[in-house]
Amino acid sequence: MKKIFIDAYTRLNLGDDLFVKVLCERYPSSQFTIASHKEYATPFHAIKNLEVASIPRYIDGIMSKLNVDYRVSSSIKNKQAKKNDATVIIGGSIFIEPNNWQEHIKKNQNLVNQSNSTYILGSNFGPYQRKNFYEAYGELFSIVDDVCFRDESSYSKFKHLPTVRTAPDVVFSMDTEANATKSANLNDKSIVISVIDLSWREDLTEYQDEYEQSIIDISKSLIQRGYKVVLMSFCQYEGDEEAILRILHQAKDENLTSYFYNGDIEESMYILNKSSGIIATRFHSMIIGWIFNKPVFPFVYSNKTLNVLNDIEFEGYYLEIENIASINVKQVIAQTIASQPIDVSAKIKQSHENFLKLDQFIKE
């Protein structure tokens, strides 16, 4: 039995929690460990072959304020990496260039150095500006066992490296029958709108009011057409709930409801799968909508979404948030309630290639 350490984003983000769930369910005979703060570990306790290495609260924050170059979270992760057979680094936007990118690359280098084998799955690369950021990660990617990016744009930057591959997003390979819960073929004439907080995103803050007003306008129009509208938060930590509460306060419509993801993946899949369509700002609300065969309207807040739309040759209506002033509410609604779901069966099949190298390792 292989023992695998998972390094992932553990902040009760539905998309990232799905990554972990899909990974563990693929290898039921392997034992996995993930490091997480206790308050964010709820979804992991439901996964039978996953143990949680608890990270104490506050200590890293205190160390940072004291300018001490030590992080207890990194120490715990490195110890887990060393004692397991392999490390899987899994996540989406984990290679964005922050101001303190040297600290991030150092953490990743230390983790890779402590690991017996390393597999990087499901990510995109960038955005970035500095050449040395790109070069530092190129060096890191060259020494791991496998890197599988989720979009062609990221892959093209490193395709000269023999360790680098590409496959569609990991969530495409989710077992929909197992995760559709009891909602198969159940359509309660509801529309789910995935909402994000633009105040978190420096380059998009100026569009916050227009974006939230657009969601109000879309919601009221759908309610007039007899639809239930559910504003859905994928991640409390990143402000989704705050944005939804602002919208509800502004809309003052008792027919407009909300659902906040709290770690119950099964319940979240039920809400999404029983809907008639999805208005998707969160990246994985778009992916989940497609694999559940729903009409989807994408609000594009990041190039990662745009890259996937290009990869699948999406021909429907979508809107980049920078162009929110030009939104056509009638077209959004038509796409969400009247368009045919797109066929992503090829992407679902190709997505299993994320695990090509890890499959080989597990079977050894």
pLDDT tens by residue, the chain, 364 residues: 999 999 999 999 999 999 999 999 999 999 999 999 999 999 999 999 999 999 987 665 555 565 656 577 889 999 999 999 999 999 999 999 988 899 899 999 999 999 999 999 999 999 999 999 999 999 999 999 999 999 999 999 999 999 999 999 999 999 887 665 555 455 679 999 999 999 989 899 999 999 999 999 999 999 999 999 999 999 999 999 999 999 999 999 989 999 999 999 999 999 999 999 999 999 999 999 999 999 999 999 999 999 999 999 999 999 999 999 999 999 999 999 989 999 999 999 999 999 999 999 999 8
Tokens 């198969």, residue? 184
Report the DSSP pairing between strands 296-300 and 277-280: parallel
CA distance 312 to 298: 13
Q: In order of start, what are the domains of the chain with their CATH numbers?
A: 3-166 (3.40.50.2000), 177-347 (3.40.50.2000)
pTM: 0.94
d(CA 69, CA 63): 7
Angle at CA of residue 270, ends 226 and 17, nearest 5° = 130
